[in-house]
Structures are given as structure tokens and as C-alpha cells.
């Protein structure tokens, strides 16, 4: 009799096994549905964080470059700093930096170029040397060491402001450097301006001679800061 009772109590019936499998299938199906809805949002969140970090790092590097812009004329005959700014590119002079850079100055170019049919923002440089009188920047400067800072679909644009705090899309042939440079990042598809856009202050606006206690820019005809607007607007040299 004990043997018969054990035979009746041991294991599962076929119906019980089918019900257990059905319940397991429902649980797995529910988990798969939840994961399918949650995982893409998670991936989009991770991609957004990585994108913002990459854009933020690029803007920090660009802002540090622009803040270090120097008032350096193209040659002895020029009274204006070597600075050429447009909406999509900018060329300026700064102290050379980098592991292999010796003492001296670099001419830095920040701007767009095409890479595999996409626009990318690239930083390139060349060693500064006085330019021949009457020559253009594009004719004399040959930039090298390109570094990609920003890739599609994001595009970088510049705007410039002087002491009057009025923004302009270009800054060329000016008597002084801009006080501030606005860095605007847009999504090329939607033209939406990203919140990571920022403003970079430029520390120097006039030649170093104008900041010396015994310096007198107006008495030096070959001094880049001798012109009235630059000297009057930029006394002190630093913001």
C-alpha cells in the first residue's frame, strides 16, 4: 500500500508540466517586451551622454585656444593683429603648445572641411613667420597637423563681439582682437542649437607695449596698437 501511495505522489502530471511551461513562457514574453521597450531608451541616453561629453571636450579645447589668442601683426608694416574670423572658420596667432612644440608662436586655423562627404570641424596649425607685405593668408599659410574636433551632424559657427558687446558674423581687418567669441553648436538636420554652446573670452586686445607703465602706443608709428580706436578701446590690454 505504501508503494502505491508513493507512485501516486511522485513527480508531476502532464497537465501540471504544461501549465508550468505556459506560465514560464508568459513570464519570459513579458520580460522580453519590457526589455525591448527599455533598452533602446537606455542606448539613446548613453549615446546622448557620450555625445555631450565629446562636444563639451571639443568646445573646451576651442575656448582655451581662443582665450590665448595674441595680438601679433602679420609683419612689421601692419598695424592690425593677424586675425581672420568668419561664421564658419577662424585664424589667429597663439603661443605654441604641444609635446613637440618649442618656444614661439603658432598660427591656428579652426574651421570646417569635408571628410567622406561629411562636414567636420578641424583644428590645424603652422609655425608663425612674418608674412610678405600685400600677401593674403591663404597664399602664405600652409596648415598641418589636423585634428578633428567635431563631426556631423553637428556644425560649429562663430560670432564676434568687441567692447560694445554687439555680435557680428565676421571679424576682419580690425584694429584689435574681439573681446568675446560665441561658439554655437547646431544639429545640421534640425538646425536646433544645442545647450552646450558657449562664449569664449579673449584675454588680450592690444599689443603688450600698451600695457607697460612707460609704454606710449601713440608715439610709435609702427606699433600695431597706435591707431586711435584700438588704443582707446583697449587700454589695460586684458579683461
Output the pLDDT for position 52: 80
Higher pLDDT, 38 or 236: 38
Q: How many CB atoms lie within 10 A of CB 67?
A: 14
DSSP string, 36-104: HHHHHHHHHHHHHHHHHHHHHHHHHHHHHHHHTB---BSSTT--SBS-EE-SSEEEEEEE--STT--SS
Name, of 40-49, 57-66, 192-201, the range with top average pLDDT.
57-66
> In this model, does residue 218 exceed pLDDT 60?
no
pLDDT of amino acid 9: 56
Is 112 within 8 Å of 155 (Cβ atoms)? yes
* Domain segments of the chain as ranges: 53-233
Distances (CA, A) of 228 to 90, 217, 219, 225, 236: 25, 9, 11, 8, 14
Q: Could you read off the pLDDT of 66-111 as tens digits, one per residue? A: 999 999 998 888 888 999 999 999 999 999 987 776 788 999 999 9
Is residue 210 pLDDT above 90, yes or no? no
Cis check: omega of the bond before 153, within 30 degrees of 0: yes
pTM of the model: 0.69
Exposure on the CB side of residue 11, measured as CA atoms within 13 A: 6
Amino acid at each position: 500500500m505504501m508503494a502505491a501511495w508513493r507512485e501516486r505522489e511522485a513527480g508531476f502530471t502532464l497537465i501540471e508540466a504544461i501549465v508550468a511551461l505556459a506560465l514560464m513562457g508568459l513570464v519570459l514574453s513579458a520580460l522580453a517586451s519590457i526589455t525591448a521597450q527599455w533598452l533602446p531608451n537606455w542606448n539613446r541616453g548613453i549615446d546622448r551622454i557620450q555625445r555631450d561629453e565629446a562636444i563639451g571636450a571639443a568646445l573646451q579645447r576651442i575656448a582655451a585656444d581662443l582665450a590665448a589668442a595674441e595680438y601679433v601683426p602679420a609683419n612689421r608694416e601692419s598695424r592690425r593683429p593677424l586675425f581672420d574670423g568668419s561664421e564658419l572658420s577662424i585664424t589667429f596667432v597663439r603661443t605654441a603648445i604641444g609635446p613637440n612644440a618649442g618656444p614661439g608662436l603658432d598660427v591656428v586655423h579652426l574651421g570646417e572641411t569635408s571628410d567622406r562627404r561629411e562636414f567636420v570641424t578641424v583644428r590645424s596649425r603652422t609655425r608663425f613667420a612674418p608674412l610678405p607685405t600685400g600677401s593674403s593668408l591663404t597664399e602664405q599659410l600652409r596648415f598641418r597637423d589636423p585634428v578633428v574636433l567635431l563631426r556631423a551632424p553637428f556644425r560649429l559657427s562663430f560670432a564676434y563681439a568687441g567692447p560694445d558687446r554687439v555680435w557680428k558674423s565676421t571679424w576682419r581687418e580690425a584694429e584689435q582682437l574681439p573681446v568675446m567669441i560665441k561658439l554655437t553648436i547646431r544639429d545640421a538636420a534640425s538646425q536646433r542649437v544645442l545647450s552646450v554652446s558657449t562664449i569664449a573670452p579673449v584675454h588680450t586686445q592690444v599689443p603688450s607695449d600698451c600695457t607697460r607703465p612707460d609704454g606710449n602706443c601713440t608715439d610709435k608709428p609702427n606699433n600695431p596698437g597706435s591707431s586711435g580706436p584700438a588704443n582707446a578701446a583697449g587700454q589695460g590690454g586684458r579683461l
